[in-house]
A and B are shown apart, each in its own frame.
Chain A
Amino acid sequence: MISMPRIISPHHAQKIMNVVLWGVGLLAIVILIIIIGYILWNGLPQFSLEFIFGNPVGSGESGGIWPMIVSTFYVTFIALIVATPLGVLAAIWLAEYAGESILVKAIRFAAETLASIPSIVFGLFGLTFFVVFLQMGFSVLSGGLTLALMAIPTILRTAEVSIEAVPQSYKEGSLALGASKWQTIYRVVIPAAIPGITTGIILGMARAIEETAAILYTVGAALAIPMSIWDPARPLPLHLYILATEGVSLPNAYGTAAVLVLIILIITISTNYLVEKYTKKMMGR
């Protein structure tokens, strides 16, 4: 029997890997903190009641960003009310009804591909389809629908995985009590999958809320508060992009970025809290 000479003992290898893994983990967190810290450090000094709740003056070199905040929530809301039912229902169909045909594999492959297509391509599609072909013009609706297209694959995949993760034994228990398949899905499977589905919706929302390229060609760039879905708008990322690339005002660009980061942080943290509370209630620990 030939044995390889040991270069280092398992004990030492364990110690080295402990240091390496801890180091890499900490590095990732440090990078994240530096980025967020840098944005907040430069952006927070711009914060004032006028900056948050005021209208922009000129093209944004001074004044506030209230219309952009409203625009952001507006387009994201539209994206979510379209993408959530479509994504979740498609996920239920894929996980519980579709089986394993070639068509189903094609759909799953398409969803995965869609999730990795560059957002500017979605923007171009939104321009030709919603803005021009369906004559929706540069509007909150065109932008929201384009974002919905981007969010659907994310929501679908995450929801499908979490629905598939629901133990078979729950379903059998329900069927054995005389529940129909649909009753089993909406009374047992979906409630058990809610944490995962919510995560998918939040990921989809995060993708929509921070998206610039996809709305660049679809939502217009109006500085006024959009009064209806047919009005053009200027969500925060787009405003940030214009402020920075056209050299309008770098400090205000940082201020806008800080608002965007805070909105995403607040939504993510509060959703996580609610999901954890729900899981604890459901699982009893």
Chain B
Amino acid sequence: MENIIIEVKELNTYFDESHILKDVYLDIPRNAVTSLIGPSGCGKSTFLRTLNRMNDVIPTFKKEGTILLDGKEIYDPDVDVVDLRKRVGMVFQKPNPFPKSIFENVAYGLRVHGNNDKKDLERRVEASLKEAALWDEVKDKLDDSAMGLSGGQQQRLCIARTIAVEPEVILMDEPCSALDPISTTKIEDLIHKLKNEFTIIIVTHNMQQATRVSKYTAFFLHGEIVEKGLTDKIFIEPEDKRTEDYITGRFG
């Protein structure tokens, strides 16, 4: 039995009347990469954003079912969403650094959580940038605006910004879809490095990417999980015809 960090049971979500996720069950193993694949509009991004409660801001959003993080329901009234998002970080589809200096981008989460010790911030910013494989490229221009970086650098900065607050889980919503192949390779290398320390859940439209980076995969279709399990198993001998059709490019 694997060590499970997130346990999703009987999850149903709605926007207004429309039923997005239907009876989703999924266990996320700790310190491994799990890919969520499926055609556009199948609910995988909604699923991802339910895990750090980013959907809370949408007034029509409704959730039923159970999501346990280390055994604790994350939608319980006594759960502080700030603490939750500290533990479950997120990297977005389009790199979204703040219009601040590179240093301040990485220090942002730490400052928000009350760390204003200059020495400590410097140390953590450097460590995070090194971990995100960006340090060598930016160490001489930490005071420059992050907006001047290339798209791939910006995305690695966003990853550095996320790991700076030391989350347990990192959600990645198609982190490479706006990037060129070389930048994509760098992010994938980074994911390989980070998985020893973090649990990573990545939404991707790129089948090869799913096979390259993840140990586990879940295939979403029309808001349901059709198949889930070891990535190798799903891609080599899928059990469900629909999974096979999707991964071989017959639809989606």
Total cross-chain contacts (CB, 8 A): 80
Residues 203-218 of B, flagged 1 when their CB comes within 8 A of A and 0 if not, give 0000000000000000
The answer to whether the Cβ of B86 comes within 8 Å of any Cβ in the partner chain is yes
The answer to whether the Cβ of A180 comes within 8 Å of any Cβ in the partner chain is yes
Smallest Cβ-Cβ distance to B101: which chain A residue: A281
Contact: B147 with A177, CB < 8 Å? no
Report chain A residues within 8 Å CB of B113: 178
Stretch from B29-37, B123-131, B157-165, B179-187 at the A interface: B157-165
What is the distance, in angstroms, from B216's C-beta to the closest C-beta of chain A?
A: 23
Stretch from B13-21, B64-72, B87-95, B219-227 at the A interface: B87-95
Contact: A179 with B92, CB < 8 Å? no
Residues 64-83 of B, flagged 1 when their CB comes within 8 A of A and 0 if not, give 00000000000000000011
Interface centre among B84, B100, B147 (most CB of A within 10 A): B100
The answer to whether the Cβ of B10 comes within 8 Å of any Cβ in the partner chain is no
Bound state CA distance, A167 and B85, in angstroms? 20
Contact: B96 with A170, CB < 8 Å? yes
Interface residues on B, range: 20 to 34
The answer to whether the Cβ of A187 comes within 8 Å of any Cβ in the partner chain is yes
The answer to whether the Cβ of A175 comes within 8 Å of any Cβ in the partner chain is yes
What is the distance, in angstroms, from A56's C-beta to the closest C-beta of chain B?
A: 49
Contact: A177 with B145, CB < 8 Å? no
Contact: B145 with A282, CB < 8 Å? yes
What is the distance, in angstroms, from B156's C-beta to the closest C-beta of chain A?
A: 14
The one of A170, A175, A183 in contact with B98, judged by C-beta atoms closer than 8 angstroms, is A170
Report chain B residues within 8 Å CB of A176: 52, 54, 85, 89-90, 92, 162
Bound state CA distance, A285 and B147, in angstroms? 8
Bound state CA distance, A177 and B161, in angstroms? 8
Contact: B99 with A282, CB < 8 Å? yes
Contact: A173 with B92, CB < 8 Å? yes
The one of B83, B112, B148, B149 in contact with A177, judged by C-beta atoms closer than 8 angstroms, is B112
Report chain B residues within 8 Å CB of A247: none
Report chain B residues within 8 Å CB of A170: 96, 98-99
The answer to whether the Cβ of B57 comes within 8 Å of any Cβ in the partner chain is yes
The answer to whether the Cβ of A116 comes within 8 Å of any Cβ in the partner chain is no
The answer to whether the Cβ of B108 comes within 8 Å of any Cβ in the partner chain is yes
Report chain B residues within 8 Å CB of A180: 82, 112
Sorted from nearest, which 5 A-B pairs have the closest CB atoms?
A284-B148, A284-B145, A169-B96, A177-B109, A176-B90
B residues near A (Cβ < 8 Å) are 52, 54, 57, 82-86, 89-90, 92, 94, 96-100, 108-109, 111-113, 144-149, 158, 161-162, 165
